[in-house]
Structure 1
């Protein structure tokens, strides 16, 4: 996978995470609403940075979809917390691809994004995974 392809995949995942955190924020309990808003803002920032990265790599940034299918229904705060952990796991997965495909500053940025997503996933889930970003590839 080229750095451009991996950056496009990361951008698409960030679009989905921004959408997903809209659902999380609407359904999560009051005690975690600020955490959801902070994560939402972080993903918006990463999304915007990736748009610039894709252009710098010579590509046209992939557009956000009008809507995204959620992996499960989110009727209550507990489901919202589970969704947040899934979103972070998925984002970590695409950033692991970008780490493998990129070099220099882009690789460092991708590693930082992978680390941030892994930390957020642990906070939402309450436990960690051995190799963040590789969980869905086993």
Structure 2
């Protein structure tokens, strides 16, 4: 069985690699966003490596390359990859969020929150909750414009 810390580290290694690709297919504000994502995942990767070492483990090293889920040909593909990578990193931290060590739970919760926020920043859309329609939605829910009836005051 793979240790949850190692699983999270493997996801961070893959994210660092993917953000290198994302940065290479973007420019301007998108490249700035890619650089910030790269730096965030690199910092989290280094923190996880340190945690594993402190616990007496041997952190897995990064692979020389990672297979991408699709060809990244342009900035639209890069944005799509960034969202997918963030979603996968969030999923990798789920098991760690259930650890008995409160500090690891906090680490996982923070990593998941940051990953979800980065994914949303790349593409402001939210996946449906279980039981809701499967399509992704954007924007705010419709606002009820009819006035709410006010009960008559008693004499």
Scaled by the length of structure 1, the TM-score of the pair is 0.88
Please tell me whether residue 100 in structure 1 is matched to residue 101 in structure 2: no
**Equivalent runs, 1:11-22 vs 2, <5 Å:** 11-22=9-20
Instruction: State the distance in 1 between where 2:59 and 2:82 align.
Output: 24
Report the CA distance between 1:31 and its aligned residue.
2.6
Instruction: State the distance in 2 between where 1:50 and 1:31 align.
Output: 29
Report the CA distance between 1:102 and its aligned residue.
4.3
Deviations 1:101-127 (A, max 9, x none): 342111101110010001001111221
Q: Where does the alignment leave 5 or more consecutive residues of structure 2 unmatched?
A: 130-155
Deviations 1:12-37 (A, max 9, x none): 00000000000000002423110110
After TM superposition, what 4+ stretches of structure 1 lie above 4 angstroms from structure 2?
none
Greater RCO, CA 8 A, separation 6+: 1
Deviates more, 1:24-33 or 1:116-125: 24-33
How many equivalent pairs are there? 129
Instruction: State the distance in 1 between where 2:126 and 2:62 align.
Output: 29
Instruction: State the distance in 2 between where 1:87 and 1:52 align.
Output: 23
**Equivalent runs, 1:83-122 vs 2, <5 Å:** 83-122=81-120
Please tell me whether residue 30 in structure 1 is matched to residue 41 in structure 2: no
Instruction: State the distance in 2 between where 1:129 and 1:109 align.
Output: 23
Q: Where does the alignment leave 5 or more consecutive residues of structure 1 unmatched?
A: 132-138
Paired position in structure 2 for 1:134: none
Instruction: State the distance in 1 between where 2:63 and 2:100 align.
Output: 26
Paired position in structure 2 for 1:136: none
Report the CA distance between 1:100 and its aligned residue.
1.4
Instruction: State the distance in 2 between where 1:43 and 1:98 align.
Output: 17
**Equivalent runs, 1:1-138 vs 2, <5 Å:** 5-130=3-128
Measured on the aligned residues, the alpha-carbon RMSD in Å equals: 1.5
